[in-house]
């Protein structure tokens, strides 16, 4: 069963990566081009431009599709493993509903909450010498968001053992997660490297496209995996029940 779920996750991730690449090509790349043009206009006259290892044309076409597809497949595989781990343990729901809830939670925990603390910056903006520090802070925020989510799940279980309704337990867990991530966000240092004269519209469109790309990716993974996992798990349960039914018929005929 785990092998079949992993295949479902890889397929869902590939679909999500391709859809996200299409969205990024339409909504994200124009904002990146604008950001590069703005930074290029600030370069001193006569300054030699740094050589590009990969041209923008390749970055916007083959490079974008390859990166999005690779990322989507990796995320889809990890999603399948987490689904196999949490299914039937966190909440009692059908495979399709569990997949959709898990995809929504992953979007919030792994991307949206860390993004609110450390929003994306166009590639041509920011101090190159602080890339390592900014990346470390963003990864730290993701890790703490995941730990907060795990703590919230445990809090929900404890509330259920105290004869709380599922709705009350879920609301308590969401409130606990919100309080934890707010505390973490306030404790971590901020990053403010956007120049004051950088066009606000260009920055907004880039960040809007970043959120949209992640939303499209996770929505596609959730929907495709929900459809595939439902079929795989229903067929698996039917096949597992067939031998017992046959034995029951043989015993009844005797």
**pLDDT band at residue 37, thresholds of 50, 70 and 90?**
confident
| pLDDT value of residue 124 | 66
CA torsion angle 66 71 77 81 (round to 10): 180
Helix (H, G, I), strand (E, B) or coil at 79: helix
Joined together, the tokens standing for residue 52 give 């590009």
Joined together, the tokens standing for residue 122 give 């166009």
Beta-carbon contacts of residue 141 (< 8 Å; ≥ 6 apart): 113, 114, 117, 118, 184, 185, 188
Arithmetic mean of pLDDT over the chain: 83
Share of the chain above pLDDT 90, in %: 45
pLDDT digits (tens, 9 = 90+) for 83-128: 998 887 766 778 888 999 999 999 999 999 999 999 988 776 767 7
Picking from 43, 47, 39, the residue whose alpha carbon sits closest to that of residue 126 is 39
- pTM equals 0.81
The answer to whether the CB of 226 falls within 8 A of the CB of 99 is yes
Domain boundaries, the chain: 2-38+55-124+199-253
The answer to whether the CB of 115 falls within 8 A of the CB of 213 is no
Picking from 120, 96, 124, 102, the residue whose alpha carbon sits closest to that of residue 234 is 96
Give residue for tokens 């809090």.
155
The answer to whether the CB of 225 falls within 8 A of the CB of 12 is yes
Give residue for tokens 């290029």.
40
**pLDDT band at residue 47, thresholds of 50, 70 and 90?**
very low
**pLDDT band at residue 233, thresholds of 50, 70 and 90?**
confident
């Amino acid at each position: 069963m785990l092998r079949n779920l992993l295949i479902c996750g890889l397929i869902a991730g590939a679909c999500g990566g391709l859809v996200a690449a299409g969205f990024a090509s339409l909504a994200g790349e124009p904002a990146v081009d604008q950001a590069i043009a703005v930074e290029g206009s600030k370069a001193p006259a006569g300054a030699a431009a740094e050589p590009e290892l990969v041209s923008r044309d390749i970055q916007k076409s083959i490079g974008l599709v390859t990166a999005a597809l690779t990322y989507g497949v990796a995320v889809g595989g990890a999603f399948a493993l987490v689904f196999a781990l949490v299914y039937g343990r966190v909440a009692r729901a059908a495979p399709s509903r569990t997949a959709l809830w898990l995809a929504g939670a992953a979007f919030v925990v792994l991307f949206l909450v860390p993004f609110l603390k450390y929003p994306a910056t166009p590639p041509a903006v920011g101090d190159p010498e602080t890339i390592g520090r900014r990346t470390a802070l963003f990864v730290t925020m993701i890790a703490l968001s995941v730990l907060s989510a795990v703590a919230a799940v445990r809090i929900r279980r404890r509330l259920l053992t105290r004869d709380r309704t599922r709705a009350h337990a879920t609301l308590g867990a969401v409130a606990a997660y919100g309080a934890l991530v707010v505390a973490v966000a306030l404790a971590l240092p901020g990053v403010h490297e956007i120049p004051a004269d950088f066009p606000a519209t260009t920055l907004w469109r880039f960040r809007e496209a970043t959120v949209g790309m992640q939303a499209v990716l996770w929505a596609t993974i959730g929907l495709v995996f929900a459809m595939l996992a439902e079929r795989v798990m229903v067929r698996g349960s039917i096949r597992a029940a067939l031998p017992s039914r046959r034995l029951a018929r043989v015993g009844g005929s005797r």
